[in-house]
């Protein structure tokens, strides 16, 4: 490689990094785990394929989860992120929070993963407190413990310059979004609102987006038709044009994270690379933000 070619590549990399710093669009890595499962391979066997795929699909930002930073995968994941020129403004670290002893382990893991991700521009840790077995509702006492532990985790992360964002699945939507609203009432954590899971849980995404207000610093974007997940982010049950308009009206500027997921009966007619690209283009068009 000539000196000129090296300089051109370095300039391109710098441009990509600058674009990433300005972008509010990201892609979640959960679909990469599903991709591995469908291929009947362990995650480690597809890492070299899926992480570069995110960049090839036009994303500069990616949100991975703790599985990608397991001890046996950590070094390879970090190398692939560097090689692909990807930033990671947020990382997902799930774990129990309604029992004090389990919450301590979740906190320890979250702090460890956040530190690993710091060089990639990570300023947010997304946590979805684990549900109880069988989806049983948490008691008032358990929600009190959970609120206390969320605040402790948030304070610990803040010392590292990282914001805690609480994510939702459907258990938080039960009984009129009882657990979600408990989090709003008893903690000072930011919110990562998964709009499709709100819809899947029978609640109104627009209502909860408004209710959480300025605390919404990240949203997860996925769509369905009659609650069946689509292969790419597209028009469906959740009206994302209306979501974008509401965010603009209420001056919300969260990180916009495309999170694909497929059910067994989701019709998948295109490659994952193509679905990621189409999803990125849809998000850019609807929200008026470049990835």
Walk along the chain (291 residues) and give the pLDDT tens digit of each residue: 455 444 434 444 444 444 445 799 999 999 999 999 999 999 999 999 999 999 999 999 999 999 999 999 999 999 999 999 999 999 999 999 999 999 999 999 999 999 999 999 999 999 999 999 988 999 999 999 999 999 999 999 999 999 999 999 999 999 999 999 999 999 999 999 999 999 999 999 999 999 999 999 999 999 999 999 999 999 999 999 999 999 999 999 999 999 999 999 999 999 999 999 999 999 999 999 999
- Asked whether residue 242 is assigned to any structural domain, the reply reads yes
Q: Is residue 8 part of a domain?
A: no
Select from 221, 171, 246, 239 the least CA-distant residue to 201: 171
Tell whether 271 is covered by a domain. yes
Q: Is residue 190 in some structural domain?
A: yes
| Residue 114 in domain | yes
State the Rg of the chain over Cα: 19
Domain that holds residue 150: 18-287
CA distances from 31 to 25, 98, 159, 225, 263 (A): 16, 27, 31, 18, 11
Domain assignment present for residue 273? The answer is yes
**Count of structural domains within the chain:** 1
In a domain, 7, yes or no: no
Is pTM beyond 0.75? Reply is yes
């Amino acid at each position: 490689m000539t000196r000129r070619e090296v300089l051109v590549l370095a300039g391109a990399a710098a441009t990509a990094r600058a674009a990433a710093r300005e972008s509010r669009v990201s892609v979640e890595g959960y679909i990469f785990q599903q991709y591995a499962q469908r291929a009947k391979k362990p995650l480690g066997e597809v890492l070299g394929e899926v992480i570069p795929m995110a960049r090839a699909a036009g994303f500069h930002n990616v949100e991975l989860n703790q599985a990608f930073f397991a001890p046996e995968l950590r070094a390879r994941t970090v190398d692939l992120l560097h090689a692909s020129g990807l930033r990671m403004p947020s990382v997902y670290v799930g774990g129990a929070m309604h029992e004090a002893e389990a919450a301590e382990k979740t906190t320890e893991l979250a702090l460890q993963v956040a530190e690993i991700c710091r060089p990639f521009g990570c300023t947010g840790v997304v946590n979805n407190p684990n549900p109880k077995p069988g989806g049983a509702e948490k008691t008032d006492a358990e929600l009190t413990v959970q609120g206390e532990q969320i605040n402790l985790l948030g304070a610990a992360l803040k010392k590292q310059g990282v914001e805690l964002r609480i994510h939702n699945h459907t258990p938080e939507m039960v009984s009129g979004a009882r657990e979600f609203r408990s989090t709003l009432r008893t903690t000072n954590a930011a919110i990562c609102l998964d709009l499709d899971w709100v819809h899947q849980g029978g609640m109104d995404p627009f209502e909860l987006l408004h209710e959480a207000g300025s605390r919404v610093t990240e949203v997860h974007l996925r769509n369905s038709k009659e609650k069946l997940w689509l292969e790419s982010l597209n028009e469906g049950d959740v009206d994302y044009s209306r979501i974008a308009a509401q965010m603009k009206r209420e001056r919300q500027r969260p990180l916009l994270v495309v999170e694909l997921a497929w059910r067994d009966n989701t019709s998948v007619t295109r490659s994952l690379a193509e679905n990621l690209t189409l999803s990125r283009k849809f998000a850019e068009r609807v929200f008026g933000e470049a990835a």
